[in-house]
Amino acid sequence: MQSIALLPLIQRPLKRLLTPILILAFLVAMPTVALAVLQDEIQVYDDEINAKGESSLELHINSTPRGLQTPTYPGEVMNNNGVRVTPELAYGLGHDLEAGLYISYVNYDNKFQYAATKVRMKWLPFREEKGDAFFAGANLELANVQPQFDESRYNAEARFIIGKHFDEWLFSFNPIIDMPLSQPYVHQSPYFSTATRLSREVIQDLALGVEYYSNLNQLGQPINYQNTQQLGFLMMYYDGKPISFQAGVGKGFSNSTDSLTLKAIFSIPLP
């Protein structure tokens, strides 16, 4: 509900763009259909963006000690007992734009295998450091995923970003639209999900918080809550030297969600 309170602050052009998405985000009771998804990046996007000419490297590491074991389609590799490692390179283009590249790998059943390549473009025109009352923007992503990790080989994602700093607090909310681009899903409705972060700085460079991910709601299809993916994390965020990182422990809250998920993101300085 805090994100709704921010809407009166949004300038009219952006308001027309974001209002329909934010309305969708709070339809928590919307019908849902489960779809397999590669958990190579579990992250809430906030107001971080590279300046023009600045490059960065993040290493995403996710593990599922206790997860689902029944495939949703023939040949699917499940998250259970798996480890996912994804380096992400990003480069600031200026004009509030940042380009990124992910290459994902999965260690499953003692086998380390290539899983996916993703490219993205982040646009963040509203930022508090520029004098705006909040931060807001969008991230567009295209993915090529191996068939054992996603039944749709090619996928697109539009992730909207809105949030605000309140003294030591940070609130960030991502309404997400996922669109499969391969058969048999290409002519079906897109999938809707959300990612939310609330954290508080407890000492300099160290914050504690929670994140919640609600995946994946296919627009317009009837199904019950237990067939959705609902995942909450207790988080720690360190923004100091020599390496910034965030780490968390996640619990699933529905029958279609892995029971225990561990995640970490390391920000490695580049020249």
- In DSSP terms, 163 is beta-bridged to 135, 172
Please state the φ and ψ torsions of residue 197, each to the nearest 5 degrees.
Answer: -130, 135
User: Residues near 252 by Cβ (< 8 Å), separated by ≥ 6?
Assistant: 229, 230, 231, 258, 259, 260, 261
The whole-number pLDDT of residue 270 equals 87
Q: How far apart, in whole angstroms, are the C-alpha atoms of residue 147 and residue 132?
A: 43
Taking alpha carbons only, the member of 191, 245, 252, 150 closest to residue 33 is: 191
Each residue's pLDDT, cut to its tens digit, for the chain (271 residues) gives 444 444 444 444 444 444 444 433 333 333 334 455 788 999 999 999 999 999 999 999 999 999 999 998 899 999 999 999 999 999 999 999 999 999 999 998 788 999 999 999 999 999 999 999 999 999 999 999 999 999 899 999 999 999 999 999 999 999 999 999 998 777 788 989 999 999 999 999 999 999 999 986 677 766 566 778 999 999 999 999 989 999 999 999 998 899 999 999 999 988 7
The whole-number pLDDT of residue 15 equals 44
Full set of structural domains in the chain with CATH: 2-268 (2.40.160.40)
**CB 179: neighbour CB atoms within 10 A?**
16
Taking alpha carbons only, the member of 154, 156, 52 closest to residue 97 is: 52
The whole-number pLDDT of residue 227 equals 78
The whole-number pLDDT of residue 98 equals 98
Residue 242: cis peptide before it, omega within 30 degrees of 0 = yes
142-178 burial by CB neighbour count: b if 16+ within 10 A, else e?
A: ebebbebbbbbbbbebebbbbbbbeeeebbbbbbbbb
Q: How far apart, in whole angstroms, are the C-alpha atoms of residue 118 and residue 120?
A: 7
Residue type, 261: T
Q: How far apart, in whole angstroms, are the C-alpha atoms of residue 218 and residue 255?
A: 17
The whole-number pLDDT of residue 223 equals 59
